[in-house]
Amino acid sequence: MHGLPRELPGTLPPMKVLALMAIFLRSERFCRLSKEGFWIVLGQTAVVVGSLVGVRILTGLLDPAAYGELALGMTVATLVNQVVLGPIGNGVTRFYAPAQEQGDIGGYLNAIRQLVLSATGIIILMIPFAVVGLLIIGRTEWIAIAAAALIFAILSGYNSILSGIQNAARQRSIVALHQGMESWLRFLVAAGLMLWLGVTSTVAMAGYAIAAILVLGSQYVFFRKIVPTHITGATEEKNWREQIWKFSLPFSIFGMFTWVQLASDRWALGLFSTTQDVGLYAVLFQLGYVPMSMANGMAMQLLAPIFYQRAGDASNIQRNANVKKLSWHLTCFFIGVTFVVFLATFLFHTQIFHIFVAKKYAFVSHLLPWMVLAGGVFAAGQTISLDLMSQMKTHTLIAPKIITALLGVALNVTGAYLFGIKGIVFASVLFAVSYFLWMAALSKYEEKKEK
């Protein structure tokens, strides 16, 4: 008796079946990633276009001095993001995948709620100190805009945390909706409010806060749909709270220094020059630096949840190596994009300013390519840090973040004192290069340690 044939009539060889299955799985995965990528590109495109339109609208309403005041007010919101709510948002995004793997989304969400309530209390305590500080230095006219900026910071921080959870859950369409909504509403509400109440920087900041409230209401409606009906007990909550806090603490530590660096360009110009120069620089920053940061954010938004899922709890060396390889591919790609955009803005900076900025700001357009370069190189350094975050090595970021931030402050103060706006722009380039080189060296050093 002969055995059964290895291949039945009309069937494919086993190896071909496996090959076709592999192709199908890859295709299914590709389709899913393409769909997610589409929503991220759509959301970030809406943000970029909204920001550019907003710059055109606000620079048409506000003169450079008032626009400079608005830029200084935004540094208050940046402080809250860098030191308080922003670090929590990083931890929230990183631990969604482990919480899901362990089937404890309820405990994870309870821990987030406790952390956010504590952070809000800290921010509220900052308000009277800010008021007293402004009274001491005799800047009572800035009290209103500082208060509006803190309220805006709290609300936008909430939105960022909710978007972080939804992005980690890979609900890309919801994230894209709210990113685009926030960008457009911020400038439209601010412009409408100024036309109604008067064209001042304080009214514009109040418009930012109102827009954040509207977005938060929509965020809440969508977020309730992913909240489980059963919430776990206090033991799991405490565990997640401690893990998220431990991961987030380094961001809060170096966040103070990075905030000083981020704010020092505007404040140095305000100290050694005028608020008009601050307004001119703010336009350069928004047209050059911010779009590159947004492009990097688009890639990070797509890939961070994937990196975190691949790394898991970061205990597997092979999984970590895979994440590192992907991180470097992304970094090299972004460096290439940066130099292409640098060349394009070098050739067409006059036309770009003509389209997106009021005429009274146009004489600084020649500095735009250098702001693009600074934003792109710094963003590439941030991409390298995604690998270290995936491996739960946020503590290794403390030294490079703090030291390069202090270097950036020194460069900004020196540049503003000696050369004004030009000095600040080239200080930004030098800071970005130093940060990128340190992050690259740190990544290679950690790789050698693992071997």
Nearest CA to 168 out of 216, 112, 126, 129 is that of: 112
**The predicted structure's pLDDT at residue 377:** 92
Which residue would you say has higher pLDDT here, 180 or 155?
Answer: 155
Domain ranges of the chain: 36-450
Secondary structure string (H, E, C) spanning 65-112: HHHHHHHHHHHHHHHHHHHHHHHHHHHHHHCHHHHHHCCCHHHHHHHH
* Cβ–Cβ under 8 Å, residues 13 and 150: no
Mean pLDDT across 116-145: 80
> Where is average pLDDT lowest: 2-16, 208-222, 359-373?
2-16
Neighbours of 299 (CB within 10 A): 20
**The predicted structure's pLDDT at residue 167:** 76
CA 302 to chain centre: 13
Model-level pTM? 0.66
pLDDT at 276 > cutoff 90: no
Rounded to whole angstroms, the Cα distance separating 116 from 159 reads 12
Rounded to whole angstroms, the Cα distance separating 317 from 305 reads 19
Name 231's Cβ contacts closer than 8 Å, sequence gap at least 6: 106, 107, 109, 110
**The predicted structure's pLDDT at residue 429:** 94
Tokens encoding 153:
């910071």
Mean pLDDT across 386-407: 79
Mean pLDDT across 141-162: 85
Q: What percent of the chain has pLDDT over 70?
A: 79
**The predicted structure's pLDDT at residue 432:** 92
**The predicted structure's pLDDT at residue 35:** 62
pLDDT at 243 > cutoff 90: no
pLDDT confidence band for 341 (50 / 70 / 90): very high
- How crowded is the C-beta side of 287, counted as CA atoms within 13 Å? 32
Name 223's Cβ contacts closer than 8 Å, sequence gap at least 6: 162, 165, 166
pLDDT confidence band for 90 (50 / 70 / 90): confident
**The predicted structure's pLDDT at residue 358:** 76
pLDDT at 153 > cutoff 80: yes
**The predicted structure's pLDDT at residue 451:** 60
Mean pLDDT across 197-212: 87
**The predicted structure's pLDDT at residue 30:** 54
**DSSP code of 288?**
I
Angle value at C-alpha 37, between 36 and 40, nearest 5 degrees: 90
> Where is average pLDDT lowest: 144-158, 305-319, 341-355, 383-397?
305-319
pLDDT in tens, 258-270: 888 888 888 888 8
Most confidently modeled range among 25-39, 136-150, 212-226: 212-226
- Mean pLDDT estimate for the chain: 78
Name 185's Cβ contacts closer than 8 Å, sequence gap at least 6: 211, 214, 215
Mean pLDDT across 169-181: 75
pLDDT at 374 > cutoff 70: yes
Rounded to whole angstroms, the Cα distance separating 381 from 440 reads 7
pLDDT at 144 > cutoff 90: no
Long-range contacts of 416-422 (CB under 8 A, 24+ apart): 416/265, 416/268, 416/269, 416/271, 416/272, 416/273, 417/268, 417/272, 420/269, 420/272, 420/273, 420/277, 421/269, 421/273, 421/277, 421/280, 421/281, 421/284, 421/364, 421/367, 422/367
pLDDT in tens, 208-231: 889 989 988 888 888 777 665 555
Tokens encoding 124:
């509220």
pLDDT confidence band for 428 (50 / 70 / 90): very high
**The predicted structure's pLDDT at residue 9:** 45
Radius of gyration of the chain (CA): 24
* Cβ–Cβ under 8 Å, residues 40 and 301: yes
Mean pLDDT across 391-416: 84
